[in-house]
Structure 1
Amino acid sequence: MTHNDTPTPTVPDADASLESQLRDEIEALRGELEQVRADSLRERADLENQRKRVARDVEQARRFANERLLGELLPVFDSLDAGLAAAGEQGGPLKDGMELTYRQLLKVAADNGLVVVDPAGQPFNPEHHQAISQADPGDAAPGSVLQVFQKGYLLNDRLLRPALVVVARHD
């Protein structure tokens, strides 16, 4: 055999094997890159959701920061209501002073999100009223509020205290 008769290694087989390996490696790297992209998008979405949650919590805390103080003022409103009711139609500087104080206090409370629930003559609403008894309706519509024993209050649309009411009985 001559020197030219010896088989030489085929370069195309080695190139094909190397090319196949490189393709596999590229595909593996593409898969890893897609996983990193997906993880990055998920992390970004989680951060955005957390940011929104914190902003919502801060807004809620701001809206209801005065809840305790306003809740503790409710007996003061009740006392002024009772004093004004007891004064009746009698005028005078004492009643005028009580009315002025009451209006000023209500304005400050309203500026901080407090709303009075005084449902006399309105339909009974179990979300805002607490029925303490029922009575014959007389001229009132059945299921309406006949008398308010104690006004209720909402703070930024959330019930702070229900109104205590007497409801017209259904026949």
Structure 2
Amino acid sequence: MTQNPATEDPNLEAAANAAGQPQAAEGGSEAGTAALQAERDDLKDKLLRTLAEMENLRRRTERELADAKAYAVTSFARDLLGSSDNLRRALESVPEAARGGADATLKALYDGVELTERELLKTLERHGIRKVDPQGEKFDPNLHQAMFEAPDAAIPKGLVSKVVQVGYKIGERVLRPALVGVSAGAPKAAEPPPAGENGGDKPASH
């Protein structure tokens, strides 16, 4: 039986195998490089996302800490507002004429209450709490609560004509809105009666 000459020579078979190897190696190298680039891009994207999330977390934490510091006394401050209101009512209950009168005891009491009120307001201000007294200012629904609207010839329409109760802010937030009355502007002039009414222009009868 006669054998195929190509299979009889091992050197020919080895040469044939060597001739096909470079192309296979080149194809494998390109595929590996593409895979590495894809993995690199994926890792880079994940890293950027992680860094962005960490920065957002840092900013959010700083903001929450600042808010906690600024508004930590909100409940306590709101409880103190009643005391401030009572001090103001006590001062306003003393007649103007009696404040500088001859009664030294009453004057000393008035001065003491007034000093206490000032010190309380200063203490509140040191903690970021400010009084809102909008007399004559434009009505702002974010800061004021309208109790009534009434004509007022001295104050233009839309301005606060009376402060029923002062308000307070803590930081940029409203601790308590001011209770106010709002001017409706000057009252409308009475319209003259139509001609012929009340006998004004009615011709006399004979």
Flag the 1:95–1:14 CA change in 2: closer, same or farther, 3 A: same
Shift of 1:11: 2.0
Flag the 1:100–1:3 CA change in 2: closer, same or farther, 3 A: closer
Q: Which has the higher contact order (CA 8 A, sep 6+)?
A: 1
Flag the 1:159–1:165 CA change in 2: closer, same or farther, 3 A: same
Shift of 1:12: 3.4
Flag the 1:86–1:5 CA change in 2: closer, same or farther, 3 A: closer
* TM-score with structure 2 setting the length: 0.77
Q: What is residue 142 of structure 1 aligned with on the other side?
A: 157
Q: Following TM superposition, where does structure 1 have runs of at least 4 consecutive aligned residues deviating by more than 3 angstroms?
A: 1-8
**CA RMSD, aligned part only?**
1.9
Q: What amino acid is the match of 2:150?
A: A
**Pick aligned residue for 1:73 from 80, 96, 101:** 80
**Pick aligned residue for 1:119 from 134, 147, 167:** 134
- Alpha-carbon distance in 1 for matches of 2:65, 2:120: 27
- Alpha-carbon distance in 2 for matches of 1:153, 1:4: 101
Shift of 1:143: 1.4
Q: What is residue 83 of structure 1 aligned with on the other side?
A: 90
Max Rg structure: 2
Q: What amino acid is the match of 2:66?
A: E
Asked if 1:163 is matched to 2:178, the reply is: yes
What whole-Å deviation, never above 9, does each CA across 1:88-134 have from its counterpart, x for those lacking one?
A: 32140111001100000000100111111111122211111111111
**Pick aligned residue for 1:108 from 123, 130, 133:** 123
Q: What is residue 25 of structure 1 aligned with on the other side?
A: 32
Flag the 1:5–1:159 CA change in 2: closer, same or farther, 3 A: closer
- Alpha-carbon distance in 2 for matches of 1:5, 1:66: 93
- Alpha-carbon distance in 1 for matches of 2:68, 2:52: 24
Flag the 1:5–1:43 CA change in 2: closer, same or farther, 3 A: closer
Where structure 1 has 5 or more consecutive residues not aligned to the other structure, the ranges are none
Q: Percent identity?
A: 33
Q: What is residue 66 of structure 2 aligned with on the other side?
A: 59
Where structure 2 has 5 or more consecutive residues not aligned to the other structure, the ranges are 101-106, 189-206
Q: What is residue 152 of structure 1 aligned with on the other side?
A: 167
Aligned pairs, how many? 171
Q: What is residue 14 of structure 1 aligned with on the other side?
A: 21
